[in-house]
Amino acid sequence: MSELHPLIIWLQSKRVHIARFTLWPLIIYLFAYERITILSIDQTQYQWGLAAMVIGVLTRSISAGTLHKNQQLNMEGIYAIVRNPLYVGSFFILLGINLIIHHPLVWSASAFIFIITYIPTVLGEEHTLKKIFPEQWKAFETSVPRFIPNIFRIFELRKTSWNAPQWYKNHEHYTVITAILVVIILELYSRFIAIN
């Protein structure tokens, strides 16, 4: 089995730092210096953004409540629809935030971060799972898409054995809290700080 390229390993290990050093300067520039305006809650695109965030949070939560990292290869429920539901959920959350902020620099930074951090992470995690579960992985890889969910298997969600303690153990409550805080902060910024 071939080994991962050192660049992929490095990007996977530094993904949080890459995201922070890309986003924080941009956020400070756009919101503190430029004081950009964002969409208001009564606009359709804002509501689509909220819907995307809710889909993302739910997708991640369903996944995290059934995920036992490197202990078992979950092939049922949401994992029968897409191999990487946590990252699909993250994509929808990021999409929702971008729809609400709707600024070209934020779209560009988000695309850059997603490509440069999530792709190496997915490749690294899949490489590990192939080593741990070689026989199961072959069937999983050939029958379940990596990132674009197979919507024709939506009824597989009925087989989800979701567990709240496991959801908490996987720290998914932080995603819920963060998503709520982002919406609150953006709304407060829009009402009281942004130049109208």
- What pLDDT score does 186 carry? 93
The pTM of this model reads: 0.90
- What pLDDT score does 161 carry? 86
- What pLDDT score does 2 carry? 62
- What pLDDT score does 182 carry? 94
- What pLDDT score does 111 carry? 93
- What pLDDT score does 17 carry? 86
Q: Mean pLDDT, consecutive 10-residue segments, the chain of 196 residues?
A: 76 84 90 90 95 97 89 88 94 96 94 90 89 90 93 90 92 96 93 74
Domains and CATH numbers, the chain: 6-192 (1.20.120)
- What pLDDT score does 15 carry? 84
Q: Give the 3-state DSSP-derived string for the chain, with helices as H, strands as E and coil as C.
A: CCCCCHHHHHHHHCHHHHHHHHHHHHHHHHHHHHCCCCCCCCCHHHHHHHHHHHHHHHHHHHHHCCCCCCCCCCCCHHHHCCCCHHHHHHHHHHHHHHHHHCCHHHHHHHHHHHHHHHHHHHHHHHHHHHHHCHHHHHHHHHHCCCCCCCHHHHHHHHHCCCCHHHHHHCCCHHHHHHHHHHHHHHHHHHHHCCCC
